[in-house]
Amino acid sequence: MRGATHAKWAALATAVALAATACGGGDDSGGGGADGIVSSSWGDPQNPLEPANTNEVQGGKVLSMIFRGLKQYDPKTGEAKDMLAEKIETTDSINFTITVKDGWTFSNGEKVTAKSFVDAWNYGADLKNNQKNAYFFGQIEGYDKVHPEKGEPSATSMSGLKVTGPQTFTVKLTQKFSTWPITLGYAAFSPLPQAFFDDRQAWLSKPIGNGPYTVDSYSKGSQMALKRWDAYPGADKAQNGGITLKVYTDNNTAYTDLTAGNLDLVDDVPASQLKNVEADLGDRYINVPAGIIQTLSFPFYDPAWNKPGQEKLRQGLSMAIDRDQITETIFQKTRTPAVDWTSPVLGEDGGFKDVCGDFCKYDAAEAKKLVAEGGGIPGGTMKISYNADTGSHKEWVDAVCNSINRSLGNNKACVGNPIGTFADFRNQVTQSKMDGPFRAGWQMDYPLIQNFLQPLYYTNASSNDGKYSDPQFDKLVNQANAEADTAKAIGLFQQAEEVLRDDMGAIPLWYQNGSAGYSERVTNVSLNPFSVPVYDQIKVN
Amino acid sequence: MGRYVIRRLLQMIPVFFGATLLIFLMVNVMGDPIAGLCGDRQCDPATAAQLEKEFGLDKPVWQQYLTYMGNVFTGDFGTAFNGQPVTELMASAFPVTIRLTIVAIFFEIVIGISLGVVTGLKRGRPVDTTVLLLTLVVLSVPTFVTGLLVQLLLGVKWGWIKPAVSPEATFSELIVPGLVLASVSLAYVTRLTRTSIAENKRADYVRTAVAKGLPRRRVISRHLLRNSLIPVVTFIGADVGALMGGAIVTERIFNIHGVGYQLYQGIVRQNTQTVVGFVTILVLVFLLANLLVDLLYAVLDPRIRYA
């Protein structure tokens, strides 16, 4: 009987809690159909929401909803299609004439003109505005005046940008870049309304764009409510009434909320739930490759790692890693073993090809042989550095090291080297302080093979953290950029990739997949190549 | 009494400066925060330099600390990396956490002390043994396990509550998270009260009170409980600060956008201004709570006097 009394107490306590909570909720979106509101998980954006200042995926989500640029990447194929661009013409791959379509406005009624673009780009490039994506404008003539490497800027606008008519402007680049128009779908190239320049603070608290959604309310750090913009002139009108982005303290909680039926969409299924996700969601779980690749970079600035003949060592190490096993057991198949240095989202036409070949296949005997031929691991032990605070890198680094140790038959060949915080890790990487391989991740800015190669492996390129350098590689990249024929350009980039393979400038590990789960309330959910949900296509039942 | 309060307030000054300086130094040795701002790619050097200048990170640490402290006294806690003033973050985070703390303390006092009194009076009886066992279970299970379990059962399986708290975080939504947050302290309060009551039950003044023929209720509430509460009040007082700062786990599980969440974000993004700002306030809360506890002693037991 005693047990019964306790159960009664517990029941009573929960009943009180329930009665009280019942009055709390009830703010959920009513109604379904075309006007239904979709609720989606969100993370707090790291930077103020400006097109040229947003370099992470959380802010990027919002920009993808409230902005449309000259080009738009197809959510399925990643192909860059004209959006606001009527036409982009060039004869020499240096001078471009851009015509902006007529009839587009911002959601506050302002017309989208050539000036909207030119002003926005000049703003984004200006050093004084601290925009983290400023380097996107680096190819435009006059960038070095508004964004000098040292000292104060001597101009506020780039000489390569000229407004030639209400809807036309010209761009002059500093060097040939035939595929440059394809980059224009990136959010940094979005147009900005005059309202932004008149009162930036007001704009930041409630951004105004020209996309299918408008910001209805934004309370920083907790949620943003976006409403469908009915006067949106584009073809990709929103199929739902709006999107409510809710900031979650932890993606596990978001997932729990989804399974409890309080949330419609989670676009980042936590690693700890991957085992249950099939059972919980069935076919409402999406797991598709995204434009993200993970590699191991080498410190080419360290003499111990930059000796002639060491390409065999690096190739051997690559063959010592059992990618299939690691992606299956540790990542539950949310990673795809890499076969080149780009990403499957580019497609065969875009330049994705098995360039790595046998060097990316696990072969312990061959690995051991190659490492020995390459002079062995410098110092006998190598450390793979990673940041231990986020992203659960420890598991896979340990697995990679185990795989290498097993292949080489040496328990001391490889150990993980955790670094406390991401900031400290990046600090050591950018200051070239690594004394062994380190993890590197690259998320594409635009679906272009150039974006996977040039920023990472071109001599002194912006994200060439390992300081890899090869004159042949640089030459091929330059040739590819100058080549007007896209197919030929891609062929040249693939040749450059072969140079990278023969040097093994970085070990490709795997492509990261985008993962998402959704509720029974919504249909037609998909992820684009950037692993961002295609919000405007979601339908509410 | 007045002199005692003044002395205690003066003692708080070095503790305050010491604690903030330590936090400042600790955040600063974690590496360059700007390097982490640009994600997996390198910040372009000119922009990085410009940002460092804006956040004052280009100056030596001691100078940053002095400037920071100078600003704090004018109510300026600096700007977080997302462009929001830290005071704005505080204004949104502290009310939520204070509500959560109030709920937790409420449970500690009501449930903890009642259970303590009951078990203390019936020492050795089955009720006592059961509660002791239960508190042992609560003490040995980590908060995150309790939290996730409660969330899974009440939120997902039975659908009695919402697993995630809304941004408004009203009192009613915070009942379950508050109970989870309070659970461990609650068990301590129960055990503390129980021991204290059991001990004082045999004290002379209780026997006298009973002998005088006072009603049992009055004996317990005025004589027994009042004297037994001193260690409990000490514990609860110190717990106020601990709950506010230590809510990180509970806040993460139940999606509460309070102090714990902001601190966690600040640390992960290495946002010096946010971390130091929040810790500064928490240090103050700790100090004031302790002062309050000491003053309460005199109220509970008039024999305790401060010269």
* Full-model pTM: 0.84
Look-up of token digits 């595929």: A179
The per-residue pLDDT for A31 is: 58
Phi, psi of A102 (to 5 degrees): -85, 155
What pLDDT shows up at residue B108?
Answer: 92
CB contact under 8 A, A256 and B151: yes
Using one digit for the tens of pLDDT, what is the confidence trace for B147-172?
999 998 988 888 888 888 888 888 88
Which residues on neighbouring strands pair with residue B284, listed in sequence order? none
pLDDT for A468: 94
Instruction: Kindly state the tokens that stand for B200.
Output: 């004082």
Could you tell me which chain A residue has the CA closest to the CA of B166? Answer: A25
Confidence at residue B305, expressed as pLDDT on a 0 to 100 scale? 66
Chain B residues whose beta carbon lies within 8 Å of the beta carbon of residue A22: 172
Query: Do A491 and A450 contact (CB within 8 A), yes or no?
Result: no
d(CA A415, CA A401): 6
Q: Return the bridge partners of A89, or none.
A: A97
Beta-carbon separation of B50 and A426 below 8 A: no
pLDDT tens per residue across span A263-298: 999 988 887 888 889 899 999 999 988 999 999 999
Q: Using CA atoms in the order A497, A503, A505, A506, what is the torsion angle rounded to 10 degrees?
A: 90
DSSP assignment letter at B155 = I
User: Measured between beta carbons, which residues in chain B are less than 8 angstroms from residue A134?
Assistant: 44, 46-47
Partner residue opposite B30 with nearest CB, options A18, A44, A423: A423
Picking from A262, A309, A308, A331, the residue whose alpha carbon sits closest to that of residue A521 is A262
Q: How far apart are CA A210 and CA A232, in angstroms?
A: 8
CB contact under 8 A, B172 and A442: no
pLDDT, average across residues B21-39 = 78
All residues of chain A having their beta carbon less than 8 Å from the beta carbon of residue B88 are 220
A259/B contact by beta carbon, under 8 A:
yes
Q: For residue A11, what pLDDT is reported?
A: 45
Residue identified by tokens 């105004």 is A208
For residue A439, the chain B residue with the least C-alpha distance is B40
Name which residue leads in pLDDT, B268 or A199. A199
Average pLDDT over residues B195-223: 89
> Shortest Cα distance from B83 to chain A (angstroms)?
6
Q: Is A295 part of the contact surface with chain B (CB cutoff 8 Å)?
A: no
Nearest by CB to residue A149, choosing from B46, B54, B167, is B46
pLDDT number for residue A14: 45
Q: Do B162 and A260 touch (CB under 8 A)?
A: yes
Report the pLDDT value the prediction gives residue A57, as an integer from 0 to 100: 84
Tell me the shortest Cα–Cα distance from A368 to chain B, in angstroms: 31
Residues in chain A with pLDDT values less than 70: 1-32, 391
Q: Which of residues 455-514 of A touch B (CB under 8 A)?
A: 455, 462-463, 465
Q: Is the minimum CB–CB distance between A47 and chain B shorter than 8 Å?
A: yes
Q: What does residue B199 show for φ and ψ, rounded to 5 degrees? A: -70, -45
Rounded percentage of chain B residues whose pLDDT exceeds 70: 98
Q: Are strands A85-90 and A95-100 parallel, antiparallel or unpaired?
A: antiparallel
Find chain A residues with C-beta within 8 A of B44's C-beta. Answer: 134-135, 147, 462
Establish if A131 touches chain B: CB-CB under 8 angstroms: yes
What confidence score (pLDDT) does residue A19 get? Answer: 43
Compute the nearest-CA separation of A429 from chain B (Å): 9
Cα–Cα distance, A146 to A141 (Å, whole number)? 10
Of all helices (H) and strands (E), which one includes residue A125?
Answer: helix A114-125
Tens of pLDDT, residue by residue over B123-140, are 888 999 999 999 999 999
**How near does any CA of chain B get to the CA of A103, in Å?**
34
Contact residues on chain A for B89, CB-CB shorter than 8 A = 221
3-state DSSP assignment of residue B274:
helix
Q: Which of A81-90, B114-123, B280-289 has the lowest mean pLDDT?
A: B280-289
Chain A, window 59-98: residues with a beta carbon less than 8 angstroms from a chain B beta carbon = none
Confidence of residue B306 (pLDDT cuts 50, 70, 90): low
Is residue A205 within 8 angstroms of chain B, CB to CB? no
Measured distance CA(A112)–CA(A85) in Å, rounded: 11
Q: What is the pLDDT of residue B42?
A: 75
Least Cα distance to B42 among A434, A56, A453, A464 occurs for A464
Assess whether pLDDT exceeds 80 at residue B307.
no
Average pLDDT over residues B12-33: 82
* A390 vs B contacts (CB less than 8 Å): 268
* B49-72: average pLDDT: 84
Q: What is the pLDDT of residue A293?
A: 94
